[in-house]
Amino acid sequence: MMGWEIERKFIIGRLPGDITRTKPVNISQGYLILCKNGPELRIRSMGKRYYLTIKGEGLLKRKEIETEITKAPFNNLWLHTEGKRIEKQRYSINYGSRKIYIDEFAGKYAGLVIAEIEFPNEKQAIEFDPPPWFGKEITHNSKYRNRNMAY
């Protein structure tokens, strides 16, 4: 599927109490190609589903092409992502008409929790009023891009 990804990201100090009622999905993500400040090609397993994704430049808004693949090509490509991977658990919760994705990272980023909210357009993204339990916004901080954390 091709389209635009428009999202804002925030650090979360601790998981909200009611999130334990939702079951997280385990995500393993590896990068095949990374262009400095440019496009990226990654693979991702989310539970028992697998994806190949190309993402363009940008922080708040960027092009995204995502294709679901089967386990066999995922496993073959995974071998080529050694040293460029992240692991996390993702919780999804509803917040009004929006869905908040909360990623709890593992490995060298254990303890880091980031919330992401996607929007249909930039106007809604800019006008979004985050809930009080959100911490510092990191949308424009490239240090917290998954691609940069994978090294």
Domains assigned to the chain: 2-149 (2.40.320.10)
pLDDT value, residue 12: 95
Over residues 28-33, mean pLDDT: 97
Contact 134, 143 (CB under 8 A): no
How would you class 14 by CB atoms within 10 Å of its CB: exposed for 0-12, middle for 13-18, buried for 19 or more? exposed
pLDDT tens digit sequence for 105-142:
999 999 999 999 999 999 999 999 999 999 999 999 99
Q: What is the mean pLDDT of the chain?
A: 93
Determine phi and psi for 60, rounding to 5 degrees. Answer: -80, -40
H helices of the chain, in order, are: 71-78, 122-127, 146-149
pLDDT at 45 over 90: yes
Annotated active-site residue 109? The verdict is no
- Catalytic one of 31, 50, 91, 144: 31
